[in-house]
Amino acid sequence: MSDRTAIEDYWRDARTALPDLPEALPEAWGFGATPEHADELLALVLAGIKVGTASSLWDYEESGEPLPEVGELSIILDGTGAPRAVIETTAIDIVPFDDVDDEHAFAEGEGDRTLAHWREVHERYWRTHSENPRGYAPDMPVVCERFRLLLPQGADD
């Protein structure tokens, strides 16, 4: 888990670098299911390649976590739980797994960025790591999120 003080310090520094950021501390989270996966996906975000992500609506329902919203800010953590970036959600679409399109797969920036790769990786992910007992289904609702990187690394980087 992440260190709350480090996250608060990061947010204070982020607000110094970007004074229009709100005072309220946003949610801090990492991509993927393992520290290694979090670092791999974070690297794609920091490189400007990954500008989208996908989540299972069923997982949100199971966990009780609120769905992301357009305009929402997030602090992205690396695999050790250290804060490394600030992103802003720019679009949300909820579509069946089989209706996720090439454009979204490309925006996620993983592998060869094709829809075939996206489907293979995400089906495996939800079969293995889903928070709900339904796991994966071809018609499962997927929360397709687009975001923009506001602040990479620390404010002094």
Tell me the pLDDT tens digit for each residue of 48-94: 999 999 999 999 999 999 999 999 999 999 999 999 999 999 999 99
3-state secondary structure of 48: coil
Q: How confident is the model at residue 153 (pLDDT cuts 50, 70, 90)?
A: low
Tell me the pLDDT tens digit for each residue of 20-37: 999 999 999 999 989 999
**pTM reported for the whole predicted model:** 0.92
Between strands 52-56 and 27-29, the pairing is: unpaired
- What the chain holds in terms of domains, given with CATH numbers, is 4-152 (3.10.400.10)
Which pLDDT does position 2 carry in this prediction?
Answer: 52
Which pLDDT does position 152 carry in this prediction?
Answer: 87
Q: Which of 150, 18, 19, 157 is nearest to 75 (CA)?
A: 150
- State the residue for tokens 């690297």: 43
